[in-house]
Structure 1
Amino acid sequence: MRRAGLLITATLAATAILVAGSTASVRKPATVPTIAATTPSPRRQPTIPTFTKTQRDALTRELRRYLKDKPGDLSLSVRDLTTGTSYSYNEDLRTATASIVKVDIVMALLLRAQRGERDLTSREKSLAERAITVSDNAAASALWHSIGGAGGLASANRKLGLRDTDPGPGNAWGSTTTSAADQIRLLRALTSDRSPLRSGSRRYLRGLMGDVTPEQAWGVSAAGNDAELKNGWLPRERHNGRWTVNSIGIVQRLGHTYLLAALTERGTTMQDGIETLEHAVETAAAALAGAFIQT
């Protein structure tokens, strides 16, 4: 730029000399048009649809209508990992985990192994696989003792960020009580890079949950595809033999990843509980997915 300026100055000086020494007309140099500086218009940021209060209220009314004539209670939590949107229904309910606690037990086992800077032994892997994929109670009991029972589970749950889960007394791991929101926190520890569980541990357990035997693959799988889940079912003496039926897991739907936890208690039969929670999770996931479909 400096060189160009010197050349222009020199040219103007030469022109001035010519004008001073001659009466001949001198053509003025063509004027260089000035280009006005323009500021580009800011790009419009895409708007992300939100799950509005109106939509939440409509979903709550729909679930209440469905459950009105159904026996027992249901609590539901769902989180869309793709958008961060979440929804809860009857979040104050606390009920027994039944066999969904087996996921929690295996997570506690993995945390203990990490703390010891070791891999799971072949026996531990065998027990974990049986506890998750076929819901083997004897395997879960063996792992319960390996992690230190109720105290070991409570210690692990503090690390995992759980708030509402109280381990069952003695050997009664199935009597652990929890909330749907806490089960979402547990699932978040299986999907988040901020989890105390290392990525290899998370992949390992999710792989087991994705390989649950087909006859036990009901529940949150009704809400989407490629389900990674664990179910629990238990007739409870304190409820006069009525059923607690629970399901937790991770599903894919319309390009979104959903964490779901549905807890039911006091159902007349196990099948009643399954139908209730499957309807609830499918209804909730469809409502959230519908809010984010681009038109």
Structure 2
Amino acid sequence: MQRLEGEPIQCASAKPRLAQALTRDITRSLASRDSRVSIVLYDRTTRTSCMYRADEHYDSASIVKPIVLGALLHATGGELSAEEQDLARKMIVHSDNASTYVLWDLVGPDNIQDFLDAAGMTNTIIDEAGFMGLTQVTARDQATLLELLTGEDDAVLGTEERAYILGLMHDVQEDQRWGAPAGAPADAAVQVKNGWLQRSDKNLKDPRDRGDWKVNSMSALTGRAYDYGLVVLTENNRVPEDQDPDAGWAYGMETIEGVAKAVHRNLYPGR
């Protein structure tokens, strides 16, 4: 265990030296970053886990979209129309917001909550005003979702339903495959969903506060001997006034990828 800004980074493993290396290198990756960060890692193969601020809430942005699809499949028993399948592909693969809201309204908040309850995602809070990207998520709950999708328990979603969601996450368009997969083993199957949102409740007259970028990434890595997942949530990704405001989005992405590279190279060096 090593502390960063008063919070403990907790890593445990069947391989004690691996846990120590992960704790050290994740800490180093965050040492110079101003982002607020939460992390959860699980690896079933090496029996390794890491957590940092796992239960703190963040605006979900687009990482809520696998939840929406999971809730729809849970509510319909996996029976989707051709139109719903088309909307689901646009929602996950292309992160299309218009398609998401059609499905969000179709499934409804009660069914979304039913899915969250069934999945054990007890700390996820649906936005009362109905803004899907303002759903409050935690790294622990998003990792719970990845474990559900890559597991073998049919209690919440059946085998075909889980494979359907993972298949869409595997097909996410190339320019949205950044974040948690950075540095992943070349022979791993990568399933990813990212989210980014610029929003601030603070005084925009403050020259440093040009909009608070929230940048999130979740990825499940499977195939061969791989069976692990990583969730990194960030906010407070800001830049000086004289820079492009979109640099805050890039800053958050760089924070996430620093963590991801530390994780992948320690779990599976040389791959």
With the shorter chain as reference, the TM-score category is 0.7 to 0.9
Greater helix share, 1 or 2? 1
Q: Partner residue of 2:98?
A: 138
CA distance in 2: counterparts of 1:253 and 1:122, whole angstroms: 29
Q: Partner residue of 1:192?
A: 151
User: Which residue identity is paired with 2:14?
Assistant: T
Greater strand share, 1 or 2? 2
Assess if the C-alpha contact under 8 Å between 1:100 and 1:231 holds in 2.
Answer: yes
Q: CA RMSD in A?
A: 2.1
Q: Which runs of 5+ in 2 are unaligned?
A: 1-12, 203-208, 239-247
User: Which residue identity is paired with 1:211?
Assistant: D
CA distance in 2: counterparts of 1:199 and 1:191, whole angstroms: 9
Query: Mean alpha-carbon deviation: is it higher for 168-177 or for 130-139?
Result: 168-177
Secondary structure of residue in 2 paired with 1:147? helix
**Does 2:65 correspond to 1:102?**
yes
| Candidates 87, 90, 99, aligned match of 1:127 | 87
| Candidates 48, 51, 54, aligned match of 2:15 | 51
Offset of residue 223 of structure 1: 4.1
Offset of residue 125 of structure 1: 0.5
Secondary structure of residue in 2 paired with 1:111? helix
Offset of residue 221 of structure 1: 1.6
| Candidates 176, 179, 198, aligned match of 1:216 | 176
**Does 2:151 correspond to 1:172?**
no
Assess if the C-alpha contact under 8 Å between 1:219 and 1:278 holds in 2.
Answer: yes
Judged with a 3 Å threshold, the aligned counterparts in structure 2 of structure 1 residues 211 and 126 are, in CA distance, closer, same or farther, namely same
TM-score (norm 2): 0.81
Offset of residue 252 of structure 1: 4.3
Judged with a 3 Å threshold, the aligned counterparts in structure 2 of structure 1 residues 95 and 51 are, in CA distance, closer, same or farther, namely farther
Q: Partner residue of 2:226?
A: 256
Offset of residue 254 of structure 1: 7.7
Q: Partner residue of 1:244?
A: 214
Secondary structure of residue in 2 paired with 1:246? strand
TM-score (norm 1): 0.75
Q: How many residues align?
A: 238
| Candidates 262, 280, 286, aligned match of 2:259 | 280
CA distance in 2: counterparts of 1:152 and 1:245, whole angstroms: 27
Q: Which runs of 5+ in 1 are unaligned?
A: 1-48
Identity of aligned residues (%): 33
Structure exhibiting the larger radius of gyration computed from Cα positions: 1
User: Which residue identity is paired with 1:123?
Assistant: E
Displaced runs of 4 or more, over 6 A:
none
Offset of residue 184 of structure 1: 0.9
Query: Mean alpha-carbon deviation: is it higher for 136-145 or for 55-64?
Result: 55-64
Secondary structure of residue in 2 paired with 1:208? helix
CA distance in 1: counterparts of 2:58 and 2:263, whole angstroms: 21
